């Protein structure tokens, strides 16, 4: 994978793909600036090396049409504050006005283009659109790991037409995830949670041969427990996957030994005995991979399992890598985010990477 030190950046117009698809509150203000903060090292590197930086990003799902509420207008000031540089903004993408504004930029200046998903050619990875984007710059850098699993014009297509490299965030994501997947220090323990086992089957299949233990929680564990003959009552299950799940049963997999029920006879968290058993399993780990909560942790009465696992991961002293929006939220909720070794910025991208898939946004940087 090409890295930034492979590029000549002085006075070059760099098209920098970032993931600024940030959550906003009801007033339109940015609720969490983490995705912007993560790009600071790359932006600073490019500025220090004399580049003119043109940011490309998407916001929401406008589906190839201009949606006024999905413009970057309300959040440009926040982006400027977080990056520590006044970010120029153009409410267009492909036009002579944009081209002349980019040409007029000085080294070290930063400009944000309008929401790239306003254009239908983005998500279809239309080569004509990718060429139009490429014509705006001289170098392409992808720092949007969170969108690396998408074969879109701005994440994969542009790289065919310009000298290209991974940004510092993209580079670190690939290095960290490659390390825990391919050359981890054993014992390796994976914690997999979430709602549906169908969304994590490929992950479980890819990790099972590589890990020493796999701890399951969340509603996805219900299907596995049902396959082993447990009465899960009215809990969420995927009955059509019973036979598939039976074929995965292994002494490496640990399932909840007790659970927390709601009034409707549904399992919504792992129980205290399970937290204790899982904590014990983690105590000797050297590497921990965590994706997915242990229950409906958004509700305080069903949060003990997930928060207990967050504490156990940190207490283990193991090298810990985690990702997925809910997992990250839970670790922040526990006040332990700064004690985790690495938090991935990609939910779906991290999942696909750990499933062993080739990600379009990474392949194109080779």
Query: Are 4-169 and 184-354 equal in CATH topology?
Result: yes
Whether the Cβ atoms of residue 168 and residue 2 lie closer than 8 Å to each other: no
Active site residue 150: no
List of residues 6+ apart from 50 with CB closer than 8 A: 9, 10, 11, 12, 107, 108
From the list 50, 108, 179, 196, the catalytic residue is 196
Tens digits of residue pLDDT in 132-166 = 999 999 999 999 999 999 999 999 999 999 999 99
Name the fold adopted by 184-354: Rossmann fold (3.40.50)
pLDDT confidence bin for 27, thresholds 50/70/90:
confident
Residue 356 appears among annotated catalytic residues:
no
Of the CATH numbers 3.40.50.1000, 3.40.228.10, 1.10.1040.10, 3.40.50.1260, which one belongs to the domain with range 4-169?
A: 3.40.50.1260
pLDDT at position 93:
87
Share of residues in the chain with pLDDT > 70 (%) = 100
- Where along the chain do its domains lie? 4-169, 184-354
Taking only the tens place, the pLDDT of each residue in 70-115 is 999 999 999 999 999 999 999 888 899 999 999 999 999 999 999 9
DSSP 319-332: EEEEESHHHHHHHH
Do 78 and 36 meet the contact criterion of CB atoms below 8 Å apart? yes
Would you call 348 a catalytic residue per the annotation?
yes
Cβ-Cβ contacts under 8 Å for 46 (sequence gap 6 or more):
4, 9, 14, 16, 53, 141
Indicate which residue of 50, 108, 348, 356 is catalytic.
348
pTM comes to 0.94
Contact 22, 33 (CB under 8 A): yes
CA–CA separation, 302 vs 293, rounded Å? 11
Active-site position among 60, 284, 317, 325: 325
CA distance 43 to 310: 31
Task: Provide, rounded to the nearest whole percent, the portion of the chain with pLDDT above 90.
Answer: 95
- Is residue 24 within 8 A of residue 31, CB to CB? The reply is yes
- Concerning whether 271 is annotated as a catalytic residue, the answer is no
- Range from 210-214, 254-258, 259-263, 323-327 carrying the lowest mean pLDDT: 323-327
Q: Which is the catalytic residue, given 12, 35, 71, 172? A: 35
**Strands 267-270 and 253-254, bridge-based pairing:** unpaired
């Amino acid at each position: 994978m090409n890295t930034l030190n492979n590029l000549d950046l002085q006075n070059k117009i760099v098209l920098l793909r970032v993931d600024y698809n940030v959550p906003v509150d009801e007033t339109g203000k940015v609720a969490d600036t983490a995705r912007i903060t993560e790009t600071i090292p790359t932006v600073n590197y490019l500025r220090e090396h004399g580049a003119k930086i043109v940011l490309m990003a998407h916001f929401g799902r406008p589906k190839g049409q201009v949606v006024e509420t999905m413009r970057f207008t309300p959040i440009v000031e926040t982006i400027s504050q977080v990056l520590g540089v006044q970010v120029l903004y153009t409410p267009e993408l492909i036009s002579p006005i944009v081209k002349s504004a980019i040409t007029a930029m000085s080294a070290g200046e930063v400009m944000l283009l309008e929401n790239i998903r306003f254009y239908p050619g983005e998500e279809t990875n239309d080569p004509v659109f990718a060429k139009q984007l490429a014509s705006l710059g001289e170098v392409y850098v992808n720092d949007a790991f969170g969108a690396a699993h998408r074969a879109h014009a701005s994440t994969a297509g542009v790289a065919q037409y310009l000298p290209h490299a991974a940004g510092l965030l993209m580079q670190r994501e690939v290095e960290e995830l490659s390390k825990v997947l391919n050359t981890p220090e054993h014992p390796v323990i994976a914690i997999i949670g979430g709602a549906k086992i169908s969304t994590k089957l490929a992950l479980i299949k890819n990790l099972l041969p590589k890990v020493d233990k796999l701890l399951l929680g969340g509603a996805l564990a219900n299907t596995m427990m049902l396959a082993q003959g447990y009465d899960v009552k009215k809990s969420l299950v995927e009955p059509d996957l019973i036979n598939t799940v039976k074929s995965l049963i292994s002494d490496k997999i640990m399932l909840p030994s007790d659970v927390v029920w709601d009034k409707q006879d549904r399992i919504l968290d792992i129980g205290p005995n399970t937290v204790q058993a899982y904590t014990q399993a983690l105590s000797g780990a050297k590497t921990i991979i965590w994706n997915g909560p242990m229950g409906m942790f958004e509700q305080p009465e069903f949060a003990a399992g997930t928060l207990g696992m967050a504490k156990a991961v940190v207490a283990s002293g193991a090298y810990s890598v985690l990702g997925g929006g809910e997992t990250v939220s839970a670790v922040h909720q526990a006040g332990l985010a700064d004690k985790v070794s690495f938090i991935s910025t990609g939910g779906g991208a991290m999942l696909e990477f750990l499933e062993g898939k080739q990600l379009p946004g990474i392949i194109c940087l080779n």
